[in-house]
Amino acid sequence: MDVSTAPGMRIIACCNHKGGVGKTTCTVNLAAGLSRSGWRVLAVDADPQAHLTASLGLAAAPEEGLSGLLDGRCGLAAALIRDDGLDVLPASAALAETETRLAAAGAPIGLLADSLRSSVGHDAVLIDCPPHLGQLARQALYAATDILIPMTPDFLAMQSLAWLMDTLAELAASGDAPAVAGVVLNRYSAQKRLHREVKTLVESHFPGMALTAVIRENVALAEAPSFGQDIFRYAPRSAGAADFAALAVETAARLRLPRPAAAGGNP
């Protein structure tokens, strides 16, 4: 895929065909972790359920946010919301109608890519993808330079991971697939044999893709969205905050993000 982005900017799609694996949790808290370490980060809610938007305590009117951007009603700068140092491109339920219109009109696959390409103020963009491979997911994958795959440590999620890899192989054949930055295990418990077995399977079947940082089972991560906060604001001393701080460090290293000009708060 040849999609030009601002120099050094990485666009990471958090994607998995299976729902409930922690895509939104990963996008919100990885974006917050990178932002608090000093990188300039944009979080994009590309799911009509708008869970990323709600998880940060934000809301977008139907004509605003990603829906307004893709429908041509507003530009990128006007569509953004600033939240505690993090830029957010929010979603609303109207995004489902936008997706239907884009598909019916045969819209160009590079609409989102063109908009993000114009961004010169971000080091990293993280996109929370819907679980199905529709128009919005394709827009996100086409825009992305990299894909991060959150998954839960169970065998159904393992099967979905294999399907996603097949999908990416098909997209690669047409030149539309981003590189896989890594697979991150969510709600992991080293005390559970099944979790350890799935981790071993991921490491053996997809060499080099499993990230060292795992997200452990943590009540605070489940509670934080109801307060409209990322884990660093809600429970900065929790295991969830420690895990996402480690994931931010490892992800930045894998993507070779340039050192931030000025460090923000410590995750």
Angle, CA 177 vertex, CA 78 and CA 13 arms, to 5°: 40
Angle, CA 249 vertex, CA 164 and CA 52 arms, to 5°: 55
Those residues whose C-beta lies under 8 Å from the C-beta of residue 60, and which sit 6 or more positions away, are 50, 53, 66, 67, 81, 90, 91, 92
Answer left, alpha or beta for residue 187, where phi above 0 means left and psi between -120 and 50 means alpha: left
As a whole number of Å, the CA-based R_g of the chain is: 17
What is the rounded distance in angstroms from the CA atom of residue 255 to the CA atom of residue 148? 11
Q: Does domain 10-254 have CATH number 3.40.50.300?
A: yes
Ramachandran angles phi, psi of 126, nearest 5°: -115, 130
* pTM, rounded to two decimals: 0.91
Check residue 266 and give its pLDDT: 45
What is the rounded distance in angstroms from the CA atom of residue 91 to the CA atom of residue 196? 36
Cα–Cα distance list, 77 to 1, 42, 104, 146 (Å): 25, 11, 27, 23
The H helix count followed by the E strand count for the chain is 12, 8
Question: Where is 184: in which H helix or E strand?
Answer: strand 179-188
Q: What is the pLDDT of residues 246-255, one digit of tens each?
A: 999 999 999 9
Check residue 118 and give its pLDDT: 76
Check residue 261 and give its pLDDT: 64
Check residue 150 and give its pLDDT: 93
Q: What is the pLDDT of residues 90-109, one digit of tens each?
A: 999 999 999 999 999 999 99
Check residue 6 and give its pLDDT: 52
Ramachandran angles phi, psi of 210, nearest 5°: -70, 125
Domain assignments of the chain as residue spans, ordered by start? 10-254
Residue ranges, the chain, pLDDT below 50: 1-4, 264-267
Pick the closest to residue 214 from 235, 236, 192 (CA basis): 192
Check residue 20 and give its pLDDT: 85
What is the rounded distance in angstroms from the CA atom of residue 185 to the CA atom of residue 127? 18
CA dihedral 231, 236, 242, 248 (to 10 degrees): 60
Pick the closest to residue 136 from 97, 166, 85, 194 (CA basis): 97
Check residue 234 and give its pLDDT: 98
- Write out the DSSP string of 235-263: -TTSHHHHHHHHHHHHHHHHTTPPPPSS-
SS3 62: coil
